[in-house]
């Protein structure tokens, strides 16, 4: 009787070192956090855009929470017509600040990897710091299709 060594089960988990083309929402969200500060490699358009959708939804929910918390206990000044938010507004503002700080570095890293996938150098991201048009330029660069030559940015 011969004994065969057990074979590992086939895995459909994509290696983090390669972009996932046609990534699902869950894959993109998971990979965003797993590659928190990874500026090497590439990110597909689906990874990039699914993350931005998730970030927009979370941000909108946090702003709604801050608005609700600010509305409770809000005061109205009849002389000036100004409305001052309630004391709980600070909690909502703190949640928003923590969210933006927690996602700042990985969002930059994701954009950097997306530029790599289009065969552009990651430092093109710094164009987004140019007032007015810079962010639009980087957005257009991130929309560009994947370029096989971008594999030069892989490890």
* More confident call, 121 vs 10: 121
Query: What mean pLDDT do residues 100-129 have?
Result: 96
**In what helix (H) or strand (E) does residue 117 lie, and over which residues does it extend?**
helix 89-117
Please report the pLDDT score of residue 5 as a whole number. 46
pLDDT digits (tens, 9 = 90+) for 16-71: 888 999 999 999 999 999 999 999 999 999 999 999 999 999 999 999 999 999 88
- From 30, 50, 20, 34, select the one nearest 146 (Cα to Cα): 20
Q: Cα separation of 125 and 127, whole Å?
A: 5
pLDDT band at 138 (very low <50, low <70, confident <90, very high): very high
């Amino acid at each position: 009787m011969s004994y065969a060594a057990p074979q590992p089960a086939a895995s459909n988990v994509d290696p983090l070192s390669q972009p996932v083309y046609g990534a699902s929402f869950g894959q993109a969200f998971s990979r965003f956090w797993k590659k928190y500060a990874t500026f090497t490699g590439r990110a597909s358009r689906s990874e990039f855009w699914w993350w931005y959708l998730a970030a927009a939804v979370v941000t909108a929910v946090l702003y709604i929470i801050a608005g609700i918390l600010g509305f409770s206990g809000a005061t109205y000044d009849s002389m000036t017509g100004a409305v001052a938010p309630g004391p709980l507004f600070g909690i909502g503002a703190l949640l928003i600040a923590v969210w933006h700080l927690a996602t700042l570095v990985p969002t930059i890293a994701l954009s950097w990897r997306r530029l790599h996938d289009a065969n552009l150098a990651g430092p093109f991201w710094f164009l987004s710091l140019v007032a007015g048009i810079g962010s639009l330029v980087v957005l257009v660069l991130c929309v560009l299709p994947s370029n096989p030559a971008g594999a030069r940015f892989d490890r």
